[in-house]
Amino acid sequence: MSEAVKTFVIDTNVFIHRPEAIHSFRDNEIVIPLWVLEELDNLKKERDERGRNARETIRLLDEVSRHGDLREGVRLENGSTVRVELGRHDGAEQLPAGLADSKTDNKILATAYALQRAGRRVFFVSKDISARLKATALGLKAVDYEKQKVNLQTLYRGFVEQDASHETLKSLRADGWVPANTRLAPNEFVVLKEAKSEDTALARFDAKQGRLELVGDIYSVSAIKPLNVQQHMALKLLLDDSVSLVTLVGKAGTGKTLMALAAGLKKVLTEERFSRVLVARPVIPMGRDIGYLPGAKGEKLSHWMQPVFDNLEYILGADKKLRDMSVDSLINRHLIEIEALTYIRGRSLPNQFIIIDEAQNLSPHEVKTIVSRAGTGTKVVLTGDPYQIDSPYLDSNSNGLTFLVEAFKGQDIFGHVTLERSERSPLAELAAELL
């Protein structure tokens, strides 16, 4: 084999993250250890996202096998060759004694190690940090799977700040718009500031008209008032029916979930724009099915969804028009539906205001599956904090929420705001920054 060709040994968790991962490597050799197939076979029986992705990976590899012998290697359209490595005992014999032969992870590492000893330019690809560390200790080049990875430090914020003259601000307030003299994304906000007087105005870019339009004041939404300019931006997007996909990113206490629920209730109860508010969140950190939790479905959800119930009860208590209502009454009237993400898969969801909370715990593949459920007339809102991730195979740069932000930036139906200021309390603000 040519020295220029790289050999990518793929760990099981890469396929769980993205079943079609083999199509991400061009003009090189892709090796799938037999032990990976064994793990996929064990996972395929699971009812959660891991099981679904395992089954999808197996089906994809079955399709590839129809075009050649996987033991010898099958050529893909992207120029790479994919093959299954049946076993490399010569690598296992050279592993340190501390790495137990019985562990599947170590058998996968042994395969990569043996291929490198045979003269291949091996790259071990894994979403598991521990596995990558062990590979590095063995002298292997270990890399994360970064096909769907973004840089959180340069993530699209949804707004910019610009200097403006007194005449520009005066014209904006008088006419409601000014020409846009910079390159902006659709629905991106601009905070215009006059340096001398410190006068400011908020505008939003209208891509169809190619201009900045004045953003009017919001006094309250279901008795919830914006406490800073970023919350003002978020509520504008949440209330705009022409924006059917909204993402809100921010640390604890920035008001993401509260504002989404307040806007959803207004759209359903007051304006009757949508038939119901559907709120869903990942059930447990590892994405496992809710059936693993004790108790009946309602009891399971009541514990996991308590933050959502707390926000709903706060809104109902604060809004004079809604004080006669309760969360239970809204649920019984099918105006609010609280659901686990597991149970909205496969459903068609038309004319609904959907809120996906804690979306940072979803993979890009999961987010794609969920957003694609949106039916005609549905608005989807995803909220989350990329720094608070529970999944061992996701991080602030590879989760589905941040990936979605970058993927949809530039689309007319999409809006995003990164909320930077906590309004919960001075203590919560300090905790979010220091701990």
pLDDT of residue 283 exceeding 80: no
What order do you get walking across the sheet with 379-384 strand by strand? 336-340, 276-281, 352-356, 379-384, 245-250, 414-419
Per-residue pLDDT, averaged over 203-211, amounts to 95
Locate all alpha helices (DSSP H) within 32-103, ordered by sequence: 34-43, 49-65, 89-92
pLDDT reported for residue 131: 93
Residue-wise burial string across 406-427, b where 16 or more C-beta atoms lie within 10 A, e elsewhere: bbbbeeeebbbbbbeebbeeee
Looking up tokens 């399709």 gives: 63
Does the residue 171 lie in any domain? no
Does the residue 427 lie in any domain? yes
243: nearest Cα among 89, 45, 413: 413
Per-residue pLDDT, averaged over 216-220, amounts to 87
pLDDT reported for residue 81: 96
Give the CATH number, domain containing residue 60: 3.40.50.1010
The residue that leads in pLDDT, 412 or 91, is 412
pLDDT reported for residue 101: 66
Give the DSSP letter of residue 426: H
Last residue of a domain, one of 120, 143, 166: 143
HSE at residue 156, side-chain half, CA atoms within 13 A, is 24
Same-domain status, 250 and 358: yes
pLDDT reported for residue 419: 96
pLDDT reported for residue 365: 84
The answer to pTM > 0.75 is: yes
Report the distance separating Cα 178 and Cα 362, nearest Å: 39
Looking up tokens 């993401």 gives: 256
SS3 207: coil
Report the distance separating Cα 364 and Cα 82, nearest Å: 24
* Angle subtended by helix axes 104-117 and 34-43, to nearest 10: 160
Q: Say what percent of the chain tops pLDDT 70.
A: 87
pLDDT of residue 213 exceeding 50: yes
SS3 150: coil
Under the banding of pLDDT at 50, 70 and 90, the label for residue 305 is confident
Tell me which of 197-206, 245-254, 337-346, 391-400 is least confident. 337-346
Average pLDDT of the residues of the chain: 88
pLDDT reported for residue 300: 57
Beta carbons within 10 angstroms of residue 309's beta carbon:
15
Asked if residues 186 and 215 have their Cβ atoms less than 8 Å apart, the reply is no
pLDDT of residue 296 exceeding 80: no
Report the distance separating Cα 25 and Cα 315, nearest Å: 49
Beta carbons within 10 angstroms of residue 1's beta carbon:
12
Residues with Cβ within 8 Å of 160's Cβ and at least 6 positions away in sequence, in order, are 184, 188, 189, 190, 191
Per-residue pLDDT, averaged over 157-172, amounts to 94
Asked if residues 159 and 189 have their Cβ atoms less than 8 Å apart, the reply is yes
pLDDT reported for residue 21: 92
Same-domain status, 298 and 414: yes
Per-residue pLDDT, averaged over 146-160, amounts to 86
Per-residue pLDDT, averaged over 102-122, amounts to 90
Same-domain status, 228 and 359: yes
150: nearest Cα among 249, 244, 50: 249
Same-domain status, 311 and 415: yes
Element containing residue 121 per DSSP (H, E):
strand 121-125
Does the residue 269 lie in any domain? yes
Report the distance separating Cα 69 and Cα 183, nearest Å: 51
Per-residue pLDDT, averaged over 206-231, amounts to 93
Token readout for 328 is 């239970």
pLDDT tens track for 36-88:
999 999 999 987 788 989 999 999 999 999 999 999 999 999 899 999 998 75
Does the residue 79 lie in any domain? yes
pLDDT reported for residue 2: 55
Asked if residues 143 and 123 have their Cβ atoms less than 8 Å apart, the reply is yes
pLDDT reported for residue 294: 55
CA dist 399 → 23, 148, 381 (Å): 20, 8, 16
pLDDT reported for residue 373: 82
388: nearest Cα among 345, 430, 435, 348: 435
Does the residue 168 lie in any domain? no
Report the distance separating Cα 402 and Cα 178, nearest Å: 31
Domain count, the chain: 2
pLDDT of residue 10 exceeding 80: yes
Does the residue 165 lie in any domain? no
Last residue of a domain, one of 84, 114, 143: 143
Looking up tokens 């200021």 gives: 421
Show the domain range for 121.
6-143
Does the residue 212 lie in any domain? no
Locate all alpha helices (DSSP H) within 163-319, ordered by sequence: 166-175, 229-239, 256-265, 297-304, 306-318
Strand partners, 302: none
Report the distance separating Cα 342 and Cα 123, nearest Å: 35
Q: Say what percent of the chain tops pLDDT 90.
A: 63
Give the CATH number, domain containing residue 423: 3.40.50.300
Does the residue 163 lie in any domain? no
pLDDT tens track for 411-429:
999 999 999 988 776 666 6
Asked if residues 340 and 246 have their Cβ atoms less than 8 Å apart, the reply is no
Amino acid identity at 146 = E
Same-domain status, 10 and 117: yes
Last residue of a domain, one of 88, 112, 143: 143
Same-domain status, 330 and 429: yes
pLDDT tens track for 314-351:
999 998 888 889 999 999 999 999 887 777 766 778 99
